Copies of this chain bind each other. A is one copy, B any other.
Amino acid sequence: MTEHHAHHHDEHHACSHCSPSGIYLFSPSGAIAEPERVRLACERLNALGFKTEVDVDALAVHQRFAGTDEQRLAAIDRSMRQPQDIVLATRGGYGISRLLHQVNWQALADSGKRYVGFSDFTAFSLALLAQTGAVSYSGPTAVAYFGADEPDELTTEMFGEAMRGELELFSFEAPDADPVDEHGVLWGGNLAMVVSLLGTPYFPQVNHGILFLEDVGEAPYRIERMLTQLLHAGVLARQKAILLGAFTEYRQSSDGYDLAVVVQWLRSHVNVPVICGLPYGHTDVMVTLPVGKQVGVATEDGLAYLVIDEHQH
Contact = CB atoms under 8 A, between A and B. Distances in A.
A260 to B, nearest CB: 12
B196 A63 contact: no
Contacts of A199: 198-199, 203, 229, 232-233, 235
Interface string A77-119: 0000000000000000010011011000000000000000000
A45 to B, nearest CB: 28
Interface in A260-279: 261, 265
B63 A257 contact: yes
Contacts of A198: 198-200, 229
A202 B232 contact: yes
Copies of this chain assembled into the complex? 2
A255 B221 contact: no
A281 B105 CA distance: 38
A97 B255 contact: no
B232 A200 contact: yes
Interface residues of A, number: 32
A236 to B, nearest CB: 12
A228 to B, nearest CB: 5
A200 B233 contact: yes
Nearest 3 CB-CB pairings of A with B: A198-B199, A200-B232, A199-B233
Given A64-B253, A101-B232, 7 more contacts: A63-B256, A63-B261, A100-B228, A100-B232, A196-B229, A198-B200, A199-B229
